[in-house]
Structure 1
Amino acid sequence: MPVTSAGLLLHHGRGADAHVLIAHMGGPFWARKDERAWSVPKGIVEPGEDVATAARREFAEELGVPAPDLPAVDLGAFRYSSGKVVHVLAVEVPAGIVGSPDDPACPDLTTRPGISTVQVEWPPRSGRRLEVPEVDRAAWVTLAEARRLLVAGQQPVVDALESAT
């Protein structure tokens, strides 16, 4: 059975003014990468957990702030070439959130208390383990930028958002 993750994609604006919040993956492997190194804040759906609950929990764990308590639209499930499935929900937020104290975007998430971390072996095959943040920053980007930055398996999420809004 494939691994299933759930993610929450915040967005604001319409057409050319549309922006989404995406997160850059943490750790030394991703440190110098930009294109295809970003993701919708997401994580594994625990046994017995519904997708919406998992998406909101993972958002808070990865970004260190609670997900906005606003209605979510189901964008669908997206299958990676590896077989992993990511179920994405979209939440429209007011544009005024950008730059406000409630803005989940952050140029350095390592400064936020409570963000989730993961153990990685670095350098590869060295036996040395490092604890790194799952994501190290989050930013609002245009839909065109999101298509360029998101990992390949999540690029169709942008199309789904455009169709849903």
Structure 2
Amino acid sequence: MVRSAGLLLYRTGASGLEVFVAHMGGPFWKRRPRAWSIPKGEFSEDEAPLDAAVREFAEEIGVAPPDVPYELLGEFRQSSGKRVTVFAGAAPEFSVSAVHSNTVRLELPRGSGRFVEVPEVDDARWAPVDAARSMLVAGQVPALDALALLRHDDVSIWPDPADAG
């Protein structure tokens, strides 16, 4: 089982609750919907998930995450089967002027023998939670629900059965 850990930074902005999300780099994600992610990465059995989340944030964003308390939101399964352990931290003052991500080596096109280096993340920004719901890969959306519960925000996290049509 592939395991990953990430940090979901949050703050209260002009539009309410906002989260810090990252756009995945490389040609595969360039024009795809739901190409945003919680900054995260894989870890091994001998690394604590929170330590991995902090390390991966720095690698993907190019700056260390803020030194704030982090709370476990839970483990969330993505469609690929990967399990992502997510920690949330309030970071009202956090900002980044430019993303300086590590790179990954890809064969493009697949089977061509030609390899290129692409950034793992090519953009990152604060987004209102409602917008982030349609930006994030689907398997990470439940982390937004967990964050709303943690913060006791008065938001509808589950569809209203009356809206089922």
TM-score (norm 1): 0.86
Going from structure 1 to structure 2, the CA distance change for 1:16 and 1:163 (only over 3 Å counts) comes to farther
Please tell me whether Structure 1 or Structure 2 has the larger radius of gyration of its CA atoms.
2
Q: Which residue of 1 aligns with 2:71?
A: 73
Q: Which residue of 2 aligns with 1:18?
A: 17
Give how far 1:130 is off: 0.8
Q: Which residue of 2 aligns with 1:29?
A: 28
Q: Please say if 1:132 is aligned against 2:130.
A: no
Aligned mate of 1:44, from 28, 42, 45? 42
Contact 1:105–1:138 at 8 Å: present in 2 too? no
In structure 1, the residue corresponding to 2:31 is in which secondary structure? coil
Listed as ranges, the gaps of 5+ residues in structure 2 are: 152-165
Aligned mate of 2:58, from 53, 57, 60? 60
> What is the CA–CA distance in structure 1 between the aligned matches of 2:118 and 2:129, rounded to whole Å?
28
Q: Which residue of 2 aligns with 1:103?
A: 95
> What is the CA–CA distance in structure 2 between the aligned matches of 1:51 and 1:105, rounded to whole Å?
27
> What is the CA–CA distance in structure 2 between the aligned matches of 1:84 and 1:152, rounded to whole Å?
12
Listed as ranges, the gaps of 5+ residues in structure 1 are: none
Aligned residues: 151
- Deviation per CA, 1:94-132: give whole Å up to 9, x if none: 2xx2xxxx51364xx2xx3xx311111112332211111
The letter of the residue matching 1:52 is L
The letter of the residue matching 1:134 is E
Q: Which residue of 2 aligns with 1:85?
A: 83
Q: Which residue of 2 aligns with 1:4?
A: 3
Q: Please say if 1:162 is aligned against 2:148.
A: yes
In structure 2, the residue corresponding to 1:48 is in which secondary structure? coil
Contact 1:39–1:154 at 8 Å: present in 2 too? yes
Contact 1:79–1:85 at 8 Å: present in 2 too? yes
Contact 1:105–1:140 at 8 Å: present in 2 too? no
In structure 2, the residue corresponding to 1:7 is in which secondary structure? strand
Q: CA RMSD in A?
A: 1.7
Q: Which runs of 4+ in 1 moved over 3 A?
A: none
